[in-house]
Amino acid sequence: MLSVKRFDNGFFKFVGVLAFAILMFFVAPEIGLAASTGTVQTKIKSGVTAFQTVLTGIVVVVGIAASLKIIVKHLPSIDDPHVKNEMWKSIGGVLAAIGAAAALIWLLPWVYSLFK
């Protein structure tokens, strides 16, 4: 009978692992675990676009809420021309802030890519 102690040598373990590694190197297909650069750039660009869309949506919702608050605040005395003028100026300011914030969200990455 074969003695198990004969194969308990460290050299045989090393040769066995080395033979298995060489076999896997030649037999196993080449597997690329990392994605190509083009794929990664496409995914990053689509992720940034989604993030910009969400931020723009948040800015618009906050702007709508601010405009509604201004309208509700000035609604009881809307007959007074000064109050009406103040309300429209406030709503115009909110719309300007929404436009500026949305432009910043979309233009900042574009300007960054120009100097990259």
**Would you say 24 and 59 are in contact if contact means Cβ atoms under 8 Å apart?**
no
How much is the pLDDT for 5? Answer: 60
Q: Give domain limits for the chain.
A: 4-114
- What pTM value is reported for the model? 0.64
Contacts of 57 (CB under 8 A, 6+ apart): none
DSSP labels, 61-77: HHHHHHHHHHHHHHSTT
Q: How many Å apart are CA 38 and CA 82, to the nearest integer?
A: 58
**Would you say 106 and 56 are in contact if contact means Cβ atoms under 8 Å apart?**
yes
How much is the pLDDT for 98? Answer: 96
How much is the pLDDT for 29? Answer: 67
**Would you say 106 and 52 are in contact if contact means Cβ atoms under 8 Å apart?**
yes
How much is the pLDDT for 1? Answer: 46
Q: Low-confidence residues of the chain, pLDDT below 50? A: 1
DSSP conformational letter for 5: G
Strands (E), 22-105: none
